[in-house]
Each structure stands twice: as structure tokens, then as C-alpha cells.
Amino acid sequence: MAEHLLARLKAIDPAVLTDVVRQDQHCPAFEIAEWSIRRLSDKGVVNPDGLWLVNGLGEVDGTTRPWSVAVKIIQRPNAETPPDARNYWKRELLFAQSGLLDRLSGPARVPRVYRAEESNDCVWLWMEHVQDERSGAWTLDDYIFAARQLGRWNGACAARPLPTEPWLVKQPHRAWLGVVNPENDWQSPLHRKYISESIRLRFEQLWAESELFYGILEGLPQCFAHFDCNRRNLLIRRGADGQDELVIIDWALCTNDALGIELQALVGGSTMFVEWPSSDLAILDKATFKSYVQGLRETGWSGDVDAVRLAYVACLAIYRGAILPQVMANWFCAPESRDFELQQFGIAGEDLYVQWLPMLYYWLDCADEARVLMKKLKLF
């Protein structure tokens, strides 16, 4: 697949590329002198071959300077899904065309999109190449900064009417309800080796209460959300004012959901992608939640912090925790997935399983905390 996409990129109309680069350079007279193509990343779980960097040299007024743009190619699936389905393939195209973030305002930044086009078999998004100034592993301070920016953005969104675009994901936290088969999952040899009966019973309680958790999330205060703000979709760069700013990429799961739910990916998703050690989950949880609430308050938000905490821990429990046994046993830790596991996480098989195991315990603890908060807020 990568070779096929590379061949299509090499055959791009020079006029199209010139128009894109001129937009990026803010210079209608810029002329491309030379250019090349390489993979920008192969870490996408759904679209690992789709992100490319096109860069080179160009000239204007006798001066040569470098340029670079990114292009994301999203393949049309074999089977179409409704626009509000979690895996709707054109959502990023429609988001780019909508100007939604311009209407919602706030501190969230997205790469500029220079050209968005659809063909019979794919979507092409030509975008600003954002240079990540934290290209390695994030420190705790980086996560704290990101959480505060997300809080400021969500707080700004919460003060405005919810967007009504028909292609926003509908109830994304329910996405795995028809996919998970707990009875079958527990037959995994790894589960039988590592999971105690008490942990299994706690999981079964959570699974039995899934509709309660979904209903709680749908009844809490809502706002527009990215829903997938894990470390891989967040970049930190120096802004025009000389201060750090957070840039959010990959809007394929954008939705309306409970205020506070954005943190489930910053903490849960980042840990699952082995960007943060699962043994230090409590440290990341405490620091980022405090910073997120600080960001909310800075926008003038004066709501109930317990409701925000409930949305966060309930989603960690039912969206992350309820699928983790299947993810661990049948999706990512299976022998036939070894090459993909190594590409994505750097470890595979039982080593990856053991790395993830503390997450299952933590998400079950989050379910316990959610039940306490439900009672405190008199929601059941």
C-alpha cells in the first residue's frame, strides 16, 4: 500500500503542488526548485500508510529557502458507514471544510489545510507541516501543559451552543458495545495466567453496568470534543507570540460529549500507546486533572468539578476498561499481530500484555470512583 501511495504522490500535478506550497509560504510568487517525498509517520493504527511529508527548496526574488508540507491520504473503505458512525472515513475532510474550530474559538490549534479533495477511492488533505518541538517522550510538565490547554479549549466550547453537523460521531463511548465478547475474551491463556477471579468479577460488574455508565455520560454537561487527544495526536510548538502552543491533529473522532471526557485520551490513550508508563498512571491522572480544571476556570467556567471528574473516570472505565481484556488478548497481544505490535509500541506479545496490565486495574478503580461520584451527585 505504501509503495502505491508513493507512486501516486510522485505523479502529482506540479500546478497543484505549487499552489499548496505558495499557500504555505504566504507567497504567490514562490517557485519550487526541487522536492522529495518520505513517510512522515507509520504510527497510525487505522491508517499507518497515509501520512507523508513533501519537502524541498524553492526560490523567490533570487533567494532560496526550504519548504515542507504534509499530506494525509485516507482510503475509501470497502463498506460504507453512516456519517455519524465512529469509523466514517470522510470525517476529517468534512471537518477541514467546515470551519468548525473558527466558530468555536478557544486556544486549540489545528494545522492549516491548503487543499482538501475527494476522488473515487480516497481523500487527500494537504496541510501545514507542524514541527513538534517535543519530538521525544513527553515529561509530566508537557502533559500538564496540554491538559490546561484542553481545559481552556473545552471551557470556551462549553460556553457556546453544541455544533450540529451530521457527521460528528454519535456517542463514541458506545463504539465497542457490539464488538466485545467478554466470555470469549477470558479464555485467553494470558488472561488465565495473570487475571485473578476477583479482577474478573469486578470487570463483569462493570460490563453489566455498561448502560448505566453510558446513560450517565450522555446526561452530563456536554461540549464539542476531539475525543482522541492522546500524545500521538498532540504537538507542542512555539507560537507567533513566542509562547508554547498546543496543536491537535487527526480529527477523525470529533464529537459532542461530556465535559471532561477529553482527558480520557490524554491519560488513557497515551498510556495505552506506551507513551507514558502504566505504573505511573496515578501521577499522570492527578496532575493532568488539576491542570484541566485550572484551564476550565480560566475561561470563566463555574460548573461542578465533580461532574467533570465523573465524566472523565466513567469514560476511562467503560470506554477504555471495558475493552481492554479483548484488546490485550485478541487484538494486540496475539502472536499473529507481533509485527504490528512492534511497529506501534516497540514491544509485543506477553511483554506488551504485562506492560498494559496495570491499566486494567486502574480503569476498574476508576469505575469504583465513578460509582461514588454518581451517588454523591444523586444520579442513581
Domains and CATH numbers, the chain: 2-128 (3.30.200), 140-376 (3.90.1200)
Cβ–Cβ < 8 Å for 146, 266: yes
The whole-angstrom separation of Cα 248 and Cα 338 is 29
3-class DSSP assignment, residue 70 = strand
Query: Residue range 82-99: average pLDDT?
Result: 94
Question: According to the model, what pLDDT value does residue 285 have?
Answer: 98
Residues 369, 375, 378, 380, CA torsion sign = positive
Question: According to the model, what pLDDT value does residue 324 have?
Answer: 86
Cβ–Cβ < 8 Å for 315, 264: yes
Highest mean pLDDT among 187-201, 222-236, 318-332, 345-359: 222-236
pLDDT band at 74; cut points 50, 70, 90:
very high
With 80 as the cut, is the pLDDT of residue 330 above it? no
Could you read off the pLDDT of 113-152 as tens digits, one per residue?
Answer: 999 999 889 999 999 999 999 988 999 999 999 999 999 9
With 90 as the cut, is the pLDDT of residue 97 above it? yes
With 80 as the cut, is the pLDDT of residue 239 above it? yes
With 90 as the cut, is the pLDDT of residue 228 above it? yes
Q: How far is CA 59 from CA 12, 37, 126, in A?
A: 20, 19, 21
Question: According to the model, what pLDDT value does residue 92 have?
Answer: 96
- % pLDDT > 90, the chain: 77
The whole-angstrom separation of Cα 328 and Cα 192 is 12
CB atoms within 10 A of CB 14: 9
Q: Which three cell numbers stand for residue 220?
A: 452530563
CA atoms within 13 A on the CB side of 340: 13
With 70 as the cut, is the pLDDT of residue 7 above it? yes
Cβ–Cβ < 8 Å for 292, 260: yes
End-to-end CA distance of the chain: 50
Question: According to the model, what pLDDT value does residue 309 have?
Answer: 98
Could you read off the pLDDT of 22-54 as tens digits, one per residue?
Answer: 999 999 999 999 999 999 987 777 887 889 999
In sequence order, the β-bridge partners of residue 64 are 59
Question: According to the model, what pLDDT value does residue 1 have?
Answer: 62
The whole-angstrom separation of Cα 38 and Cα 109 is 25
Could you read off the pLDDT of 202-215 as tens digits, one per residue?
Answer: 999 999 999 999 99
Strands 122-128 and 255-258: unpaired
3-class DSSP assignment, residue 323 = coil
With 70 as the cut, is the pLDDT of residue 188 above it? yes
